[in-house]
Amino acid sequence: MTHRFRITIERKPGLSDPEGATTRKALIDLGFEDVEHVSFGRIVSVTIHASDEATARSSVDEMCEKLLANPVMETYTVESES
Amino acid sequence: MTHRFRITIERKPGLSDPEGATTRKALIDLGFEDVEHVSFGRIVSVTIHASDEATARSSVDEMCEKLLANPVMETYTVESES
């Protein structure tokens, strides 16, 4: 059976986000002077074959730890989209 | 008043996603042989000062069109987090 998950990966609070800071400046230069803060994150959608959702989710958690996220600097959440 | 929005930006369906294809291969090499599909997207969190939420949201939509998303290749959704 096919299961689909959406993984949201965000930088841990307090870590600097140069991409966000640069984008905020660019937005201000474009006239959006009221922008206070911008930060970036990633979404990874994974479709996987597994006998049941619990097995699939456990694989996805392992993928996050091994490849998709950097657990030192990032937090991630996994939501089922099946 | 401060309003916070989460913008989810994803590639339009049917467009190739080389980052997703490469990540799928890497996951298979790591032993996750049941991965069928991987695709990537971005999240941008924007905090903005505005008199009301409708004004804030309209600014955020304009930011997406002008800078944050590429309307030719991407779709975006804006959710309030206030």
Q: Using the predicted structure, report yes or no on whether residue A34 has a pLDDT greater than 80.
A: yes
* Whole-angstrom distance, CA of residue B70 vs CA of residue B73: 6
> What pLDDT is stored for residue A82 in this prediction?
72
Per-residue pLDDT tens for A56-66?
A: 999 999 999 99
Contacts of A55 in chain B (CB under 8 A): none
* Mean pLDDT score of chain A: 96
Contacts of A63 in chain B (CB under 8 A): 27, 30, 32, 35
Contact B10 A68 (CB under 8 A): no
Phi, psi of A52 (to 5 degrees): -150, 170
Q: Using the predicted structure, report yes or no on whether residue B82 has a pLDDT greater than 80.
A: no
Contact B63 A27 (CB under 8 A): yes
Q: Which residue carries 């971005």 as its tokens?
A: B42
Per-residue pLDDT tens for B10-31?
A: 999 999 999 999 999 999 999 9
* Whole-angstrom distance, CA of residue A73 vs CA of residue B15: 30
> What pLDDT is stored for residue B59 in this prediction?
97
* Whole-angstrom distance, CA of residue B17 vs CA of residue B63: 24
Task: Give the ipTM of the model, two decimals please.
Answer: 0.89
Per-residue pLDDT tens for B54-76?
A: 999 999 999 999 999 999 999 99
- What part of A 51-80 touches B (C-beta under 8 Å)? 59, 62-63, 66-68
Q: Which residue carries 């049917």 as its tokens?
A: B14
- Amino acid code (one letter) for B31: G
Whether A29 and chain B come into contact, CB under 8 Å, resolves to: no
Which of A12-16, A31-35, A41-45, B64-68 shows the lowest per-residue confidence on average (mean pLDDT)? Answer: A12-16
Query: Rounded mean pLDDT of A34-59?
Result: 97
What does DSSP say about strands A74-80 and A2-11: parallel, antiparallel, or unpaired? antiparallel
The domain defined by B2-80 folds into Mth169; Chain: A , (3.30.1280)
Contact A40 B40 (CB under 8 A): no
> What pLDDT is stored for residue A77 in this prediction?
97
